């Protein structure tokens, strides 16, 4: 009967709450508190295990990447990216001005817009300076973004080797979509080097923007990066002769000079370092990774309150004042030159704290 049922429920509830409020021998805590503490502990343990698994997976992938090519040497050190000064200001504040060409949906049913849903055929579209690639096309090129096609992983995404239908080899950077970072990196790179062609700058041949996913498609540079050749396991004798080192230094300088002097607005790269100098089989250098680049119009300098770059390469002036101009790249290039000449890494954590930045002149 309903009345009895209600009474039973009431009794049950009462006895459960009674049991839960029992004092346990554990510091005289009430039972419900002990249960809550255990639950919280297991939840923490579970989250930590998941976090650890993700980290291990990521490291395993990085290790796999570094071992994936028999010819390109391994690198044992890691360079940390620094964000000095005020972390809260927005260094990308004028990005709204940048217009990205994403083909509009057409009657042929080809594409979506940057924020829309995917509705894509395999056709690529001409975007003026390069091509727009569909996700399907890039999936086919990289065999579904297969692990064996991973050539590297940076702070902003994973880079895959891909072969397009016309047989051309490309590098596809699949940008990580963390809090709009993909959009920023994507916008900045397209704006900075989309239209730019120079033998010492990596060529951006196109991009893919479908839904929230952003990918950049570059010419493939087939001989690793300078960091790997300087600090990797190259055997007893480095293949980098003085002539080769000169060629790399001069080529890099030409690429940077073009960014600074040959373009309007000029482009400040902001992350010149050995791992961003790609090399081809003839040791021609190509400056890559324009994700932090800044376009400077008529103004000589730009003040940013969020200093971006890589520890050891960032100029002291830029780090302390936030004042950015091409001089910041020139300082980083100076560090790079010292690195090329000495074969030493600009950051050496095995040294005493004051000497970690190897080339810092006081
Ligand atoms: N066009 C390319 N051709 C061949 N390899 C490339 C190309 N672009 C990037 N890579 C390789 O992919 C890896 C990751 O590059 P990416 O620019 O994303 O990161 P990074 O410069 O190593 O690190 P970070 O972005 O954190 O500074 C690097 O090892 C680089 O050598």
Residue for token pair 């919280």: 40
Per-residue pLDDT of the chain (362 residues; tens, 9 = 90+): 444 444 455 566 667 777 777 777 777 777 878 888 878 887 888 777 776 655 555 554 444 444 344 567 766 444 344 444 333 333 222 332 233 333 333 333 333 333 333 333 444 466 667 788 999 999 999 999 999 999 998 878 899 999 999 999 999 999 887 666 777 778 888 888 888 899 999 999 999 988 888 899 999 999 999 999 999 999 899 999 999 999 999 999 999 999 999 998 899 999 999 999 999 999 999 999 988 888 887 666 778 767 888 889 999 989 889 888 999 999 999 999 999 999 999 998 888 888 888 887 65
Binding-site annotation: residue ranges for ATP = 173
* pLDDT at residue 95, as a whole number: 31
The question of whether 329 is a catalytic residue gets the answer no
Residue to substitute in 82, 142, 145, 154 for testing ligand 1 pocket (most ligand atoms within 8 angstroms of CB): 154
Sequence-distant (≥ 6) Cβ neighbours of residue 147 within 8 angstroms: 61, 64
Model pLDDT for residues 256-300, shown as the tens digit of each residue? 999 999 998 899 999 999 999 999 999 999 999 988 888 887 666
Atom of ligand 1 nearest to the CA of 157: 18
Q: 56 C-alpha vs ligand 1 centroid, how far in Å?
A: 21
Residue to substitute in 62, 151, 271 for testing ligand 1 pocket (most ligand atoms within 8 angstroms of CB): 151
Residue to substitute in 82, 219, 275, 286 for testing ligand 1 pocket (most ligand atoms within 8 angstroms of CB): 275
Q: 300 C-alpha vs ligand 1 centroid, how far in Å?
A: 29
Atom of ligand 1 nearest to the CA of 159: 12
Which residue's CA is the nearest one to ligand 1's atom 11? 152
d(CA 173, CA 187): 13
Second-level CATH architecture of 67-355: Orthogonal Bundle (1.10)
290 lines ligand 1 (CB under 6 A): no
Its ipTM equals 0.96
Exposure pattern of 13-47 as b/e (b: 16+ CB <10 Å)? Answer: eeeeeeeeeeeeeeeeeeeebbeeeeeeeeeeeee
* pLDDT at residue 147, as a whole number: 95
Atom of ligand 1 nearest to the CA of 289: 17
The structure's pTM equals: 0.71
Model pLDDT for residues 11-28, shown as the tens digit of each residue? 666 677 777 777 777 777
Residue for token pair 């980083």: 332
* pLDDT at residue 26, as a whole number: 74
* pLDDT at residue 245, as a whole number: 98
Complete DSSP assignment for 5-65? HHHHHHHHHHHHHHHHTPBPSSTT-BHHHHHHHHHHHHHHHHHHHHHHHHHHHHHHHHHHH
* pLDDT at residue 150, as a whole number: 97
* pLDDT at residue 14, as a whole number: 64
Atom of ligand 1 nearest to the CA of 225: 31
* pLDDT at residue 230, as a whole number: 97
Q: 159 C-alpha vs ligand 1 centroid, how far in Å?
A: 7
Alpha helices in 225-362 (DSSP H): 226-231, 242-261, 316-321, 326-342
Cβ-count burial of 172 within 10 angstroms (0-12 exposed, 13-18 middle, 19+ buried)? buried
């Amino acid at each position: 009967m309903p009345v009895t049922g209600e009474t039973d429920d009431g009794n049950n509830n009462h006895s459960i709450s009674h049991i839960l409020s029992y004092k346990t021998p554990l510091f005289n805590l009430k039972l419900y508190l002990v249960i809550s503490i255990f639950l919280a502990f297991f939840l923490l343990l579970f989250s930590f295990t998941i976090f650890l698994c993700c980290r291990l997976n990521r490291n395993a992938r990085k290790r796999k990447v570094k071992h994936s090519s028999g010819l390109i040497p391994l690198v044992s050190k890691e360079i940390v990216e620094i964000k000095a000064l005020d972390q809260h200001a927005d260094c990308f504040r004028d990005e709204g001005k940048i217009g990205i060409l994403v083909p509009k949906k057409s009657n042929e049913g080809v594409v979506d817009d940057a924020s829309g849903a995917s509705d894509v055929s395999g056709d690529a579209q001409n975007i003026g300076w390069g091509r727009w690639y569909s996700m399907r096309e890039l999936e086919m090129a990289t065999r579904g973004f297969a692990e064996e096609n991973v050539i590297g992983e940076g702070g902003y995404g994973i880079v895959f080797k891909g072969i397009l239908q016309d047989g051309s080899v490309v590098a596809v950077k699949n940008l990580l979509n963390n809090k709009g970072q993909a959009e920023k990196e994507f916008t900045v790179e397209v704006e900075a080097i989309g239209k730019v062609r120079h033998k010492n700058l990596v060529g951006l041949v196109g991009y893919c923007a479908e839904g929230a996913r952003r990918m950049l498609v570059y010419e493939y540079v087939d001989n690793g990066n300078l960091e790997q050749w300087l600090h990797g396991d190259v055997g007893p004798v480095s293949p980098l002769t003085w002539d080769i080192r000169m060629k790399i230094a001069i080529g890099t300088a030409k690429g940077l000079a073009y960014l600074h002097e040959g373009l309007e607005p000029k482009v400040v790269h902001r992350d010149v370092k050995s791992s961003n100098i790609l090399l081809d089989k003839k040791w021609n250098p190509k400056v890559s990774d324009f994700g932090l680049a800044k376009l400077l119009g008529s103004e000589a300098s730009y003040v940013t309150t969020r200093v971006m770059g890589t520890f050891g390469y960032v100029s002291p002036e830029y780090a302390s004042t936030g004042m950015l101009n091409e001089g910041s790249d020139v300082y980083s290039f100076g560090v790079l030159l010292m690195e090329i000449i000495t074969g030493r890494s600009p950051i050496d954590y095995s040294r005493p704290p004051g000497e970690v930045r190897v080339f810092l002149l006081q």
